[in-house]
Amino acid sequence: MKDLILSNAKIFTEGDIKEGGIAIDEGKIFKIAKEPNLPPASKEIDCNGNLILPGIIDVHVHLRDLDLSYKEDFLTGTRAALAGGITTVLDMPNTKPRTDTPEKFKLKLKKAANKIVCNAGFYSAIPENFQDILKITKLGAMGFKIYPDHPYSNFDFANDEQLDSLFKILKKTKLPIVVHAEKKDTKELIKKYKEEKYTDIEAFLKAHDFYSETSTVDRCINLIKQNGIKLHFAHISTSESVRRIIEAKSSGINFSLEITPHHLILDSDSLQTQKTFSKMVPPLRKKGDRDALWDGINSGFVDIIATDHAPHSLTEKKSNFLEAPSGIPGLETLLPLMLTHINKERITLAKFVELSSRNPAKIFNLQGKGKLSNKSDADLVVVDLKEKFKINSENFFSKAHHSPFDGFEVQGIPIMTILNGELVMDHGEILAKAGTGSIIKPQN
């Protein structure tokens, strides 16, 4: 007797859709087959002909908590993930306090263990003492995040000698190095442009222009060639970056990159209407940049779609434009937005699964995840591709009750989320209890 049968479903497996059901036992997929060929189970869920996908793996999430728990905490953030069909999140280290020592890394794991309701892994920032990198690696870090625009320590991304020392150690870990591709003088540039009488939005966009991103992309590509490091670009946003990335990958240089739904769907015109609710870094770009990102997906040069879920309180986002923090929530909008574009045939279902599940599992060493096959982890999401609704941030499980997508009509919604073989979200109701999620570590 197996634990669970999901019946009467369309199942995306091995690159194709098959009709039938899935037998699950002890947190693993036991068998995918037509219902008469499935073993008996103690529980059965009728999927009513809806589509089953691998659970989404979001490699770029800010769960906040600790001293920033008023913005989001490990419970609300992971509940938002389950609501959005996301079964695994990787949390960024720019918390308060920063995650940049073995002691702070252990503190975050301890705090998270009692709250999370999905799979959660954790990055580290670059520590003051580079020798701590190996200690943090042994504690289970998913990778190390570099912020050239906010160094956060004595580490200077522009210092070649420091970088050489850093990469020699990072290479030993075999973990991804995630880079926020922006130069570090944006605050000074905003001040300069304001003195030149540019508006707040104009000054912000000029300070975070395409060169801020592409100059960092160029530097990183050269570093990959010199050091052979495993590098991953976060939230690439400009057509010029895409062009240089395509050139580098075409020449055989190996690295990965992600893009976000908001950079795919919105453009800088949104800043004029949504103001601070569309403020993020990198900022929304021009329509041509947005089209280049789609071209990068469809030509096979983009590896991952990630949310960059970056929640802030409504009070903070209602501040004046330059004072308001950058970032928007994304965990509960990723699937509806992307399913809508699957319905519009802007992206294929196979490509979406590759970018949102299979590639994240492969690049970040998450064995058993990102696919629906025998013996893989039973992390999956059931979606209704036909249901239409309007996004309303007031209904978010996240503490961030705002979104530039408020009022967007979408077609496609996650209706059930299965985590480790257990039904944890059922038609908008979160069934998982605090602390029932799992802290995950890379499996090199």
Catalytic residue among 73, 91, 303, 308: 308
- For the chain, the straight-line distance linking the first and the last C-alpha, in angstroms and rounded, comes to 34
149: annotated active-site residue: no
- C-alpha 410/C-alpha 422 separation (Å) is 27
Burial of 291 (0-12, 13-18, 19+ CB in 10 A): middle
CA dihedral (405, 411, 415, 419) positive or negative: negative
Contact 29, 374 (CB under 8 A): yes
For residue 147, the SS3 value is coil
Lookup: tokens for 310: 């970056």
Long-range contacts for 212-215 (Cβ within 8 Å, ≥24 apart)? 212/149, 212/182, 212/183, 212/186, 212/282, 213/181, 213/182, 213/237, 213/238, 213/240, 213/241, 213/282, 214/181, 214/238, 214/240, 214/241, 214/244, 215/183
Beta strands in 162-286 (DSSP E): 177-180, 231-234, 256-259
AA letter at 311: P
**CA 49 vs CA 6, 278, 386: distances in Å:** 11, 37, 11
332: left (phi over 0), alpha (psi -120 to 50) or beta: alpha
Q: Please answer whether residues 286 and 267 qualify as being in contact, where contact means their C-beta atoms are separated by less than 8 angstroms.
A: yes
Per DSSP, the three-state class of 182 is: coil
Query: Which DSSP string do the residues of 286-354 spell out, in sequence order?
Result: -HHHHHHHHHHHHTT---EE---B----HHHHTS-TTTSPP-B--TTTHHHHHHHHHHTTSS-HHHHHI
Nearest to 435 by CA among 115, 194, 199, 165: 115
Instruction: Return the SS3 of 200.
Output: helix
SS3 216: helix
Burial of 321 (0-12, 13-18, 19+ CB in 10 A): middle
What's the longest Cα–Cα distance across the chain?
73
Give catalytic residues, as residue numbers: 308
